[in-house]
Amino acid sequence: MQSLVIHNVRPMGGEATSVTVSDGRIQSYGWHVQEGAELLDGGGAILIPGLVEAHTHMDKTLLGMGWYRNEVGPRLIDKIDNERMQRRVLGIDPARQSARQAVLAASLGTTHIRTHVDVDTEVGVAGIVGVLETRERYRDLVDIELVAFPQSGMLIRPGTVELMERALQLGAQVVGGLDPAGIDRDPKGHLDVVFGLAERYAVPVDIHLHEPAELGAFSMELIIERTKALGLQGKVTISHAFCLGMTDQDYVAALIDELAQAQIHILTTAPASRPAPAVKRLVEAGIVVAAGSDGVRDTWGPYNNPDMLERAVLVGLRNNLRRDDEVALALDTCTYGGARMMGLDDYGLKPGCRADLVLLDGETLAEAVVSRRPRKIVIKGGKVIARDGTASIPAP
Amino acid sequence: MQSLVIHNVRPMGGEATSVTVSDGRIQSYGWHVQEGAELLDGGGAILIPGLVEAHTHMDKTLLGMGWYRNEVGPRLIDKIDNERMQRRVLGIDPARQSARQAVLAASLGTTHIRTHVDVDTEVGVAGIVGVLETRERYRDLVDIELVAFPQSGMLIRPGTVELMERALQLGAQVVGGLDPAGIDRDPKGHLDVVFGLAERYAVPVDIHLHEPAELGAFSMELIIERTKALGLQGKVTISHAFCLGMTDQDYVAALIDELAQAQIHILTTAPASRPAPAVKRLVEAGIVVAAGSDGVRDTWGPYNNPDMLERAVLVGLRNNLRRDDEVALALDTCTYGGARMMGLDDYGLKPGCRADLVLLDGETLAEAVVSRRPRKIVIKGGKVIARDGTASIPAP
């Protein structure tokens, strides 16, 4: 494979240098004459590692399907039920829709995605099959990791557990879960099944936990207990974790200590309208914090788009991260935080890391983040896959 | 003045029609052959009235000045003191900086701005003079209303009250105030001065109230008492009003009743990291709710930009407004809400209203808001002043 030399880039906004890429990996920095290498002018752009979308739902985005008029009720269950219904009414094709999001995300500099894919007794594993198809077809654009996700509940809908197993057999890499008390009404039962699957299939765990305050904290304790009992430290993520934004600060402090000890990761979308984990505090406690867009333009809501620089801005706004070093922390949840959550060992800007890179137009790193201009160049596995906001492969 | 006919626009996303504008006002809808009229193809765009930026600080934006590296401390007073210092260090010219924001805002479809301009014993009224210059120079692009704003306190800095008077004599149209307890340490004294100036100069009032919970509620009560005593119903705005997001819901309900009776308007920036007024609840109580960007790229923080469609998205995210009718409500705070707050009688899309119009690219109104694409056409006083995101007059 031909080497690639990108001249005049500023890693993380620092001093200008050149970076040499070969065999899909970062080889070295500094000026090297390399015969036959492809040359690329970085134009003084800021070099960052690929953006990491650590929580989304690619199987059910409505991108490109015409505007969905949202008239859904206010409860969580309203949105879950409505979505199952709309899947039939609108004809949401998981392969096509996940492909649309994959291409859009890649054009925005996202090189890795963890996506929670619905598994239920209506759709079965069709969502998993569709997203697996996208994962293979677009593997040169973006790495996709699938979570088998029991969106409609597991114990309350007999047959779901078997479908979850089937999803893992087919190739889903992570076992998901959802509000063990709130949806399945049986926190012990739900979590025993989730962790049982994790043990049997040797896969990590990622559980949606919207449960509020002390209820969410109880479910969180059950997750921590199981993580330790099964030796799954470093393999478990709690998504949303609204309860960490609860009023009882002593309880929050105790939970943070326990999460850190159990090496459980926290995923936030930085929701403006809900209590939410305090990113800086968690990071200071040594907890890996990742960020995600959640559902993009779906039946749940219209606002989200898969731009992880916009997500960094939302993380910054939600957590009042104003200083330049704090903006860098917000970005970190959308890069290194997600990579650590997903266990990507060869992620980053060091020589030897995979050449998954983004060139940002910006005066400083913070300026590039808040401006969110079209990505100048996106490189995946050492190859240019997007320029000026447009991916090299069109979306279906 | 030549008439203008814009073909094929969809008012608020409704049925396509044509709109005829003459003498700077909307004349009629429907197809009219008007000899000698200028014709404009709306291309099926969505027609909305001009966006209203109801709270910003144009005198101290750092737009176009190179990136300001923010290393400021966490307290409100840290930010206030740092800003006065940076004004000297960086050389922030209020005329030039407000002009930059005026042109950028106009290019984004903002046709009316209320801006709080610093008045203190260091800058004196130089900020007021500078922004008044911009108001005159860019009057064909955007209407600017100035609030004389005692950012550094009034009673704690002798000489400030006299400068506030001078600002009103020079042409500031609104008297401002700031955290009567938190900054001036004398809620009665501060508010008596603010309302005294309002009475003497017959101007509306707009008070920054960041004070939290019960403290802010007490200051709010003092504002309500003075509004009623002086017959200033409909003339008073409380900006930020974080205390309306406090835990004690009974107290909040009582405050909302009193605010509605006193016809006091609420301005929100929809802050994600602070308690905040619940927009839908206030609107349902009959209170005018407007939205603003607050400071744009200044020494306070890096995130804000003057795009009022982005502000509508942030209002929607902060208030969990997901349905299409709710997205329209979020937009309303950035259009009609601001116009009512500022007392713009001839604002809107009805015949007779001033032709301050924006053509949005979008499938539906909600889609246009969340997509935030460059504004196709902006019309101010019947004339096209921006196309495809670029204003007809360059920024300095």
Q: What's the token pair of residue A236?
A: 């478990």
How far apart are the CA of A166 and the nearest CA of chain B, in angstroms? 34
Buried/exposed A289-325: b ≥16 CB within 10 Å, e otherwise: bbbbbbbbbbbbbbbbbbbbbbbbbbbbbbbbbbbbe
DSSP annotation of A139? T
**A-chain residues near B319 (CB < 8 A):** 273
Look at A70 and B313 and tell me if their CB atoms are within 8 Å: no
Give the C-alpha distances (Å, rounded to integers) separating B323 from A210, B91, B361: 20, 46, 20
A17-34: pLDDT as tens digits: 999 999 999 999 997 667
Contacts of B375 (CB under 8 A, 6+ apart): B107, B108, B109, B358, B359, B360, B386, B388, B389
Answer whether B129 touches A (CB < 8 Å).
Answer: no
Whether residue B316 sits in one domain with residue B368? no
Look at A323 and B71 and tell me if their CB atoms are within 8 Å: yes
A252-276: pLDDT as tens digits: 999 999 999 999 999 999 999 999 9
Look at A70 and B314 and tell me if their CB atoms are within 8 Å: no
Q: How far apart are the C-alpha atoms of A219 and B63, rounded to whole Å?
A: 47
Name the pLDDT band for B35 (thresholds 50, 70, 90).
Answer: confident
CATH number of A106's domain: 3.20.20.140
Look at A364 and B67 and tell me if their CB atoms are within 8 Å: yes
User: Is B395 inside a domain boundary?
Assistant: no
Scan for tokens 């409704």, then name that residue: B14
Count: domains in chain A: 2
What is the average pLDDT score of chain B?
96
pLDDT at B36: 85
Q: How far apart are the C-alpha atoms of B315 and B292, rounded to whole Å?
A: 10
How far apart are the CA of B209 and the nearest CA of chain A, in angstroms? 18
Look at B322 and A301 and tell me if their CB atoms are within 8 Å: yes
Tell me the pairing of strands A357-360 and A38-49: antiparallel
User: Is A77 inside a domain boundary?
Assistant: yes
Give the angle subtended at the CA of B309 by the CAs of B304 and B315, to the nearest 5°: 75
User: Is A94 inside a domain boundary?
Assistant: yes
pLDDT at B134: 98
How far apart are the CA of A110 and the nearest CA of chain B, in angstroms? 19
Chain B residue with minimal CA distance to A301? B322
Mutate which of A268, A322, A369 to disrupt the B interface (most B C-beta within 10 Å)?
A322
Contacts of A223 (CB under 8 A, 6+ apart): A191, A207, A209, A236, A238, A264
Indicate the helix (H) or strand (E) that contains A97: helix A94-107
CB A280 within 8 A of CB A268: no
**Of the candidates A101, A94, A52, the residue with the CA atom closest to the CA atom of residue A380:** A52
CB A175 within 8 A of CB A192: no
Indicate the helix (H) or strand (E) that contains A48: strand A38-49
pLDDT at A1: 64
Whether residue B81 sits in one domain with residue B38? no
Q: How far apart are the C-alpha atoms of A149 and A151, rounded to whole Å?
A: 6
Q: How far apart are the C-alpha atoms of A290 and A113, rounded to whole Å?
A: 12
User: Is A86 inside a domain boundary?
Assistant: yes
CB A26 within 8 A of CB A11: no
pLDDT at A225: 98
Look at B303 and A370 and tell me if their CB atoms are within 8 Å: yes
Chain A residue with minimal CA distance to B317? A272
CB B106 within 8 A of CB B391: yes
Q: Across the beta sheet with A51-56, what order do the strands follow? A: A51-56, A110-118, A143-149, A174-178, A205-208, A236-239, A265-268, A289-291
Q: Is the pLDDT of residue B33 over 80?
A: no
User: Is A112 inside a domain boundary?
Assistant: yes
What part of A 363-392 touches B (C-beta under 8 Å)? 363-364, 366-367, 370
Whether residue A271 sits in one domain with residue A188? yes
B345-365: pLDDT as tens digits: 999 999 999 999 999 999 999
Name the pLDDT band for B1 (thresholds 50, 70, 90).
Answer: low
Whether residue B374 sits in one domain with residue B356? yes
B109-167: pLDDT as tens digits: 999 999 999 999 999 999 999 999 999 999 999 999 999 999 999 999 999 999 999 99
pLDDT at A74: 87
How far apart are the CA of A159 and the nearest CA of chain B, in angstroms? 32
Q: What's the token pair of residue A303?
A: 């606002």
Whether residue A59 sits in one domain with residue A40? no
pLDDT at A313: 98
Greater confidence, B129 or B73?
B129
**Of the candidates A97, A88, A90, the residue with the CA atom closest to the CA atom of residue A68:** A90
Chain B residue with minimal CA distance to A370? B303
Burial of A89 (0-12, 13-18, 19+ CB in 10 A): exposed
Whether residue A352 sits in one domain with residue A275? no
Q: How far apart are the C-alpha atoms of B7 and B9, rounded to whole Å?
A: 6
Q: How far apart are the C-alpha atoms of A292 and A339, rounded to whole Å?
A: 12
Q: What's the token pair of residue B245?
A: 């997001």
**B-chain residues near A272 (CB < 8 A):** 270, 272, 314, 317-318
User: Is B155 inside a domain boundary?
Assistant: yes
**Reduced to 3 states, what is the DSSP secondary structure of residue A228?**
helix
Helix H segments across A319-385? Answer: 324-333, 336-341, 365-371
Q: What's the token pair of residue A256?
A: 């943070």
Look at B317 and A271 and tell me if their CB atoms are within 8 Å: yes
B292-325: pLDDT as tens digits: 999 999 999 999 999 999 999 999 999 999 999 9
Q: How far apart are the C-alpha atoms of A184 and A181, rounded to whole Å?
A: 6
How far apart are the CA of B24 and the nearest CA of chain A, in angstroms? 34
Answer whether B229 touches A (CB < 8 Å).
Answer: no
Number of A to B CB contacts under 8 A, please give it. 88
pLDDT at A196: 98
Helix H segments across A138-212? Answer: 160-170, 187-201
Q: Is the pLDDT of residue A76 over 90?
A: no
Whether residue B352 sits in one domain with residue B322? no
Answer whether B75 touches A (CB < 8 Å).
Answer: no
CA atoms lying within 13 Å on the CB side of residue B288 = 24
User: Is A221 inside a domain boundary?
Assistant: yes
Whether residue A364 sits in one domain with residue A244? no
Q: For residue B211, give the amino acid letter.
A: E
Q: How far apart are the C-alpha atoms of A2 and A239, rounded to whole Å?
A: 40
Tell me the pairing of strands B383-387 and A265-268: unpaired
Whether residue A173 sits in one domain with residue A210? yes
**A-chain residues near B72 (CB < 8 A):** 322-323
B208-244: pLDDT as tens digits: 999 999 999 999 999 999 999 999 999 999 999 999 9
**Of the candidates A242, A308, A319, A247, the residue with the CA atom closest to the CA atom of residue A284:** A319
Whether residue A171 sits in one domain with residue A58? yes
DSSP annotation of A275? -
Chain B residue with minimal CA distance to A330? B303
pLDDT at A364: 98
Chain B residue with minimal CA distance to A368? B67
Contacts of A166 (CB under 8 A, 6+ apart): A124, A125
Answer whether A62 touches B (CB < 8 Å).
Answer: no
How far apart are the CA of B275 and the nearest CA of chain A, in angstroms? 10
Q: Which of B66, B273, B305 sits opposite A318 (nearest CB)?
A: B273
Q: Which of A271, A313, A324 sits opposite B70 (nearest CB)?
A: A324
Whether residue A240 sits in one domain with residue A149? yes
Chain B residue with minimal CA distance to A367? B67
User: Is B276 inside a domain boundary?
Assistant: yes
Three-state SS annotation for chain B = CCCEEEEEEEECCCCCEEEEEECCEEEEECCCCCCCCEEEEEEEEEEEECEEEEEECHHHCCCCCCCCCCCCCCCHHHHHHHHHHHHHHHHCCHHHHHHHHHHHHHHCCEEEEEEEEECECCCECHHHHHHHHHHHHCCCCCEEEEEEECCCCCCCCCCHHHHHHHHHHHCCCEEEEECCCCCCCCHHHHHHHHHHHHHHHCCCEEEECCCCHHHHHHHHHHHHHHHHHCCCCCCEEEECCHHHHCCCHHHHHHHHHHHHHCCCEEEECCCCCCCCCCHHHHHHCCCCEEECCECCCCCCCCCCCCCHHHHHHHHHHHCCCCCHHHHHHHHHHCCHHHHHHCCCCCCCCCCCCECCEEEECCCCHHHHHHHCCCCCEEEECCEEEEECCEECCCCC
Answer whether B325 touches A (CB < 8 Å).
Answer: yes
Q: What is the mean pLDDT of residues B76-100?
A: 93
Look at B370 and A316 and tell me if their CB atoms are within 8 Å: no
Name the pLDDT band for B168 (thresholds 50, 70, 90).
Answer: very high
Answer whether A350 touches B (CB < 8 Å).
Answer: no
Look at A70 and B273 and tell me if their CB atoms are within 8 Å: no
What part of B 235-264 touches A (C-beta under 8 Å)? 247
Q: How far apart are the C-alpha atoms of A130 and A170, rounded to whole Å?
A: 11
Answer whether A125 touches B (CB < 8 Å).
Answer: no
Q: How far apart are the C-alpha atoms of B84 and B88, rounded to whole Å?
A: 7
Phi-psi region at A286: left, alpha or beta (left = phi > 0; alpha = psi -120 to 50): left
Whether residue A222 sits in one domain with residue A75? yes
Q: How far apart are the C-alpha atoms of A329 and A318, rounded to whole Å?
A: 13
Q: Across the beta sheet with B51-56, what order do the strands follow? A: B51-56, B110-118, B143-149, B174-178, B205-208, B236-239, B265-268, B289-291
Domain hosting residue A269, numbered range: 51-341
**B-chain residues near A303 (CB < 8 A):** 313, 316-317, 322, 370
Q: Which of B247, B297, B366 sits opposite A302 (nearest CB)?
A: B366
User: What is chain A's alpha carbon radius of gyration, rounded to the nearest angstrom?
Assistant: 21
**Rounded to the nearest 5°, which phi and psi values hold at B343?**
70, 35
Q: For residue B125, give the amino acid letter.
A: V
Chain A residue with minimal CA distance to B368? A67
Look at B316 and A303 and tell me if their CB atoms are within 8 Å: yes
Q: Is the pLDDT of residue A141 over 90?
A: yes
Name the pLDDT band for B77 (thresholds 50, 70, 90).
Answer: confident
Q: How far apart are the C-alpha atoms of B346 and B141, rounded to whole Å?
A: 17
Residues in chain A: 396
Q: How far apart are the C-alpha atoms of B330 and B323, rounded to whole Å?
A: 11
Q: What is the mean pLDDT of residues A78-100?
A: 94
pLDDT at B225: 98
- The distance in angstroms from the start CA to the end CA of chain B is 29
What part of A 286-305 touches B (C-beta under 8 Å)? 297, 300-303, 305
pLDDT at A2: 79
CATH number of A368's domain: 2.30.40.10
Answer whether B76 touches A (CB < 8 Å).
Answer: no
**A-chain residues near B67 (CB < 8 A):** 363-364, 366-367
**Reduced to 3 states, what is the DSSP secondary structure of residue A377?**
strand
Look at B317 and A303 and tell me if their CB atoms are within 8 Å: yes
**A-chain residues near B13 (CB < 8 A):** none
Give the C-alpha distances (Å, rounded to integers) separating B190 from B139, B153, B160, B176: 33, 9, 12, 11
Q: Is the pLDDT of residue A158 over 90?
A: yes
Q: Is the pLDDT of residue B75 over 80?
A: yes
**Reduced to 3 states, what is the DSSP secondary structure of residue A214?**
helix
